[in-house]
Chain A
Amino acid sequence: MALGDHSAREAVTGAERDGGVLRFVTAGSVDDGKSTLIGRLLFDSKALLRDQAEAIARSRHARADEGELDLALAVDGLEAEREQGITIDVAYRYFATPRRTFIIADAPGHEQYTRNMVTGASTADLVVVLVDAYRARSGQLLAQTRRHAAIAALMGLDIVVAVNKIDLVDFSETVFAAISASVDRLARALGVTARIVPIAAKAGDNVVDRSTRMPWWTGPTLLELLETTPLRAAKAGAALRFPVQRVVRAGGSTREAYRGYAGRVESGLVAVGDEIEVASSGARAIVAGISTFDGPRTHAGAGRSITVTLDREIDISRGDVLGPPGIRDATAVRLIADVCWLSDAPWAKGRRYILKQGTAKTGAVVTDILFRRDPAADLQEVASPGALAMNDLARVRLTVQKPILADAYEDLPATGGAILIDPYTHQTAAALFLRSAEQDESASEWSI
């Protein structure tokens, strides 16, 4: 199958292809064959070109047997990674098929696994969790696999489990069925669904091309799964969230002076004639126009960058969010969130971090750690020792200086996700998955 052969005109007009852009993250333990799988997807879709393949072949660090391409080397980008044969940082890869464009976030599987996977997963629609069929041949999943599935569940991603190296268990349907049963049990425990596919990435079975060595498998190939998964942003019916990036003025103080609000629709849809409300003030107006460089639009859905004009002058600046009437009631100063600590500097109790949500920045203090979550044990709650270090997952209570939207991450990921920045080191300290406003008024005495 020649994936690179779609016609040039189609790519421009978007006529045939345009299942849009699917972003996915790959997760696997060391030696599950993750880099090999990515190399295989790129190679079979012709995104990996001859000189890159030759560079791999003449590399000083090749791991594969002679005569065979070490596809993994195509994706290890830094000197230290090639020397040590490991992947340190999240890398991004690109390929396209006639049906869709793909962006892979390649997150390393070992050290800093949680931090890297959370980073890669933040922009993803889907996760491909790799399982080594040989190591899991008894049906027992590795702790690392449980961890990856748990993080995916926490972040609300679609989960595809790719059972790799199926050739090493002689393409055994029995082994696959045992692993499949364990994956089902894990998914139930996490409250998610997972799809599963048997593959041999090194030889390419069921990755892009259908395997002839597993006649018992009648399900889709990995690529077919990736091509047909619905996009997260396309979710219809989500509430409008339009964080304002810039106020655009033109025409000075003349009567025709233009005043627009530039930004990207992060969720939902806005149309001319809609009534909108400013989240911070509750001020309302009617959308008078939606403009772009390419002309006016009647409406714009999630993912579109536009400029909105309103029927009256109200106070709006960068950091404000436009939403449906009533959006102000969704704001809060005290919130409940799941946190993943990212920085090697642990959480400092009482420190005021900079919280960034959409285009808004405000001061934020983590007031309480309610419990930690054990990602290796299906996110079970464990007692908090009152500290947060890199890779820790926990449920926390926080207080912010100016009200922010208490959007639940599972419903509105673009505004339900936020980061904490350390005000001294400027490191990105934590990822926040907002869950709700804190209902309990007596929960905390903090004020900032």
Chain B
Amino acid sequence: MRSEALAFERPHTDPLSHLDWLESEAIHILREIAGECESPALLFSGGKDSAVVLRLAEKAFRPGRLPFPLLHVDTGHNFPEVIAYRDRRVAELGERLVVAAVEDSIARGTVVVRSETDSRNAAQAVTLLEAVSEHGFDALIGGARRDEEKARAKERIVSFRDAFGQWDPKAQRPELWSLYNTELKRGEHLRAFPISNWTEADVWAYIARENIPLPDIYYAHERDVIRRGPLLQPVTPLTPARANDKVERLTVRFRTVGDITCTCPVESTAATPLEVLAETHQATLSERGATRMDDRTSEASMERRKREGYF
């Protein structure tokens, strides 16, 4: 074995490209959570960021099985392509998927909705916390990024939630080096964000480099939409056209995928990850600004939702 090894010249440096660096940091974080937490879960919605985290989990733990189940908080307001993709990926990887449904919280009476078509984005937090206590999860791993939104820019990589699942942004544990403080008391849990340091462009560059499959709606397709201010609202069973709406058929793609009632596509002809990446470099609107109706309501909407336990 040794003689074989000596056949090559031992190098002295091994510089990492910026994507290598981000990938390696994320793998390190995933392995730390697996090493320190009793019962983590990885949030997998079928969205592009969670698809990247899932690939990073494969990189961290193969050839073994993932040391945690996948968890999807199902709002019931889904794009069918995304649910089909979710189930396909889970089957391909042979991993376990736990689905926590907002519908079940409504049936239990812990979530009350005014109408069938209200956004269930805020309700997700309740269902998520119910899943945490039902399954005894002590860490939830997710694909949130600090560049998405200014409240998320203040988020730790490993972030503490109290027994009520609440985030206190003004009393966060200082986080130094790669030394994550994972100490918990019963009932408390952690949120871990392995791609905290990635930008939207990094995510697309990585999807291109790794050939990570995504739901088709992330790429250009034709769709009926209605212009509402600067946003394009898709026409769906939950968001039908109203009497005076002008429905247009445009070539669009989704930059983010969430609750169908508040996620909007952008006009685009990008059909591949590299084309999306090229558009990302030319974009003049931020990812959430261009696509999310719920983040536009006030300067602090994301911060308020996060405090309540939202991811």
Q: Which of A272-288 contact B (CB under 8 A)?
A: 272-274, 286-288
A426 pairs with B21, CB closer than 8 A: no
Query: What residues of chain B lie closer than 8 Å to A403, measured between beta carbons?
Result: none
How does the 8 Å CB contact mask read for B40-83 relative to A, with 1 for contact and 0 for none? 00000000000000000011111110000000000000000000
Instruction: Tell me how far the C-beta of B189 lies from the nearest C-beta in chain A, rounded to whole angstroms.
Output: 13
Contacting residue for A305 out of B28, B173, B208, CB 8 A: B28
B290 pairs with A51, CB closer than 8 A: yes
A303 and B21 in contact, given A89-B154, A359-B35 (Cβ under 8 angstroms): yes
B112 at the interface (CB under 8 A from A): no
A11 pairs with B31, CB closer than 8 A: no
Interface size class for chain B? 35 or more
Query: What residues of chain B lie closer than 8 Å to A419, measured between beta carbons?
Result: 176-177, 179, 181
Contacting residue for A78 out of B2, B154, B283, CB 8 A: B154
| Most chain B beta carbons < 10 A, residue from A18, A75, A236, A418 | A18
A89 pairs with B299, CB closer than 8 A: no
Q: A166 to B61: give the CA distance in the assembly, Å.
A: 53
B181 pairs with A51, CB closer than 8 A: no
Instruction: Tell me how far the C-beta of A434 lies from the nearest C-beta in chain B, rounded to whole angstroms.
Output: 12
Contacting residue for B177 out of A123, A287, A304, CB 8 A: A123
Q: A301 to B217: give the CA distance in the assembly, Å.
A: 39
B197 at the interface (CB under 8 A from A): yes
B64 pairs with A77, CB closer than 8 A: no
A78 and B278 in contact, given A262-B60, A292-B59, A356-B181 (Cβ under 8 angstroms): no
How does the 8 Å CB contact mask read for A282-303 relative to B, with 1 for contact and 0 for none? 0000111000111000111111
Chain A residue nearest to B16 (CB atoms) is: A303
A8 and B285 in contact, given A119-B175, A258-B63 (Cβ under 8 angstroms): no
B1 pairs with A305, CB closer than 8 A: no
Question: A90-98, A133-141, A194-202, A210-218: which one contacts chain B?
Answer: A90-98
Query: What residues of chain A lie closer than 8 Å to B199, measured between beta carbons?
Result: 47, 94, 96
Question: B5-13, B122-130, B136-144: which one contacts chain A?
Answer: B5-13
Chain A residue nearest to B27 (CB atoms) is: A305
Question: A168-176, A181-189, A219-227, A244-252: which one contacts chain B?
Answer: A244-252
Q: A417 to B281: give the CA distance in the assembly, Å.
A: 37
Question: A52-60, A325-333, A372-380: which one contacts chain B?
Answer: A52-60
B297 at the interface (CB under 8 A from A): no
A305 pairs with B24, CB closer than 8 A: yes
Contacting residue for B21 out of A21, A94, A96, CB 8 A: A21
Instruction: Tell me how far the C-beta of A91 lies from the nearest C-beta in chain B, rounded to whole angstroms.
Output: 4
A8 pairs with B278, CB closer than 8 A: yes
The A interface, classified by DSSP as helix, strand, loop or mixed, is mixed
A52 pairs with B289, CB closer than 8 A: yes
A234 pairs with B15, CB closer than 8 A: yes
Query: What residues of chain A lie closer than 8 Å to B10, measured between beta carbons?
Result: 271, 273, 299
Instruction: Tell me how far the C-beta of A415 lies from the nearest C-beta in chain B, rounded to whole angstroms.
Output: 10
A68 at the interface (CB under 8 A from B): no
A315 at the interface (CB under 8 A from B): no
B177 pairs with A122, CB closer than 8 A: yes
B285 pairs with A49, CB closer than 8 A: yes
A236 pairs with B31, CB closer than 8 A: no
B175 pairs with A426, CB closer than 8 A: no
Q: A372 to B19: give the CA distance in the assembly, Å.
A: 41
Q: A6 to B63: give the CA distance in the assembly, Å.
A: 36
Query: What residues of chain B lie closer than 8 Å to A6, measured between beta carbons?
Result: 281
B240 at the interface (CB under 8 A from A): no
Q: A11 to B203: give the CA distance in the assembly, Å.
A: 11
Instruction: Tell me how far the C-beta of B266 lies from the nearest C-beta in chain A, rounded to whole angstroms.
Output: 12
B146 at the interface (CB under 8 A from A): yes
Chain B residue nearest to A92 (CB atoms) is: B146
Query: What residues of chain A lie closer than 8 Å to B280, measured between beta carbons?
Result: 8
B35 pairs with A318, CB closer than 8 A: yes
B14 pairs with A342, CB closer than 8 A: no
Query: What residues of chain B lie closer than 8 Å to A123, measured between beta carbons?
Result: 176-178
Contacting residue for A77 out of B15, B17, B151, B201, CB 8 A: B151
B111 at the interface (CB under 8 A from A): no
Query: What residues of chain A lie closer than 8 Å to B197, measured between beta carbons?
Result: 92, 94, 103
Instruction: Tell me how far the C-beta of B283 lies from the nearest C-beta in chain A, rounded to whole angstroms.
Output: 6
Contacting residue for A428 out of B154, B175, B196, CB 8 A: B175
A92 and B274 in contact, given A269-B14, A273-B5, A427-B173 (Cβ under 8 angstroms): no
Q: Which of B248-289 contact A (CB under 8 A)?
A: 274-275, 277-278, 280-286, 289
B172 at the interface (CB under 8 A from A): yes
B299 pairs with A60, CB closer than 8 A: yes
A8 pairs with B6, CB closer than 8 A: no
Contacting residue for B281 out of A5, A52, A75, A421, CB 8 A: A5
Instruction: Tell me how far the C-beta of A423 lies from the nearest C-beta in chain B, rounded to whole angstroms.
Output: 8
Chain B residue nearest to A264 (CB atoms) is: B28
A191 at the interface (CB under 8 A from B): no
A273 pairs with B283, CB closer than 8 A: no
B100 at the interface (CB under 8 A from A): no
B146 pairs with A94, CB closer than 8 A: yes
B96 at the interface (CB under 8 A from A): no
B15 pairs with A273, CB closer than 8 A: no
A20 at the interface (CB under 8 A from B): yes
B135 at the interface (CB under 8 A from A): no
B174 at the interface (CB under 8 A from A): yes
Contacting residue for A17 out of B18, B59, B299, CB 8 A: B18
Query: What residues of chain B lie closer than 8 Å to A103, measured between beta carbons?
Result: 197
A128 at the interface (CB under 8 A from B): no
A299 and B11 in contact, given A21-B22, A96-B201 (Cβ under 8 angstroms): yes
B274 pairs with A94, CB closer than 8 A: no
A69 at the interface (CB under 8 A from B): no
| Most chain A beta carbons < 10 A, residue from B6, B14, B147, B199 | B14
Given contacts A262-B60, A298-B5, 5 further A-B contacts (CB under 8 A): A80-B170, A101-B18, A234-B15, A294-B59, A428-B174
7 closest A-B pairs by beta carbon, nearest first, are A273-B5, A301-B14, A51-B289, A14-B17, A77-B150, A305-B27, A8-B277
18 contacts between A and B (CB under 8 A): A4-B281, A8-B208, A12-B208, A18-B18, A52-B289, A78-B300, A79-B299, A79-B303, A101-B202, A103-B197, A273-B5, A286-B2, A299-B14, A300-B14, A303-B16, A413-B177, A421-B183, A428-B174
